[in-house]
Amino acid sequence: MQDLDVTLVQATLRWREPAENRAHLQRLVLEADTAADLVVLPETFTTGFLGDAGTEAERMDGETVAWMRDLARASRAAVCGSLVVDDGGVRYNRFVFVPPEGPLRHYDKRHLFAHGGEDDRFAAGKERVVFEWRGWRICPQVCYDLRFPAWCRNRGDYDLQLFVANWPDRRIRAWDVLLQARAIENQACVVGVNRVGADGNGKLYPGHSAAYDALGEALVAMGEAEGCATVRLDAGRLAEVRDRLPFLADADAFELLG
Q: Which residues are tagged catalytic? A: 43, 109, 143
* Amino acid identity at 189: C
3-class DSSP assignment, residue 253: coil
Write phi, then psi, for 81 (nearest 5 degrees).
Answer: 170, 180
Contacting residues for 100 by C-beta, under 8 A, at least 6 apart: 69, 72, 73, 76, 77, 78
* Amino acid identity at 23: A
Cα 239 to Cα 64: distance, rounded to the nearest angstrom: 36
Whether residue 10 contacts residue 45, with contact meaning beta carbons closer than 8 Å, is answered with: no
Cα 223 to Cα 178: distance, rounded to the nearest angstrom: 16
- For the chain, how big is the Rg over CA atoms in Å? 17
DSSP bridge pairs for 140:
162
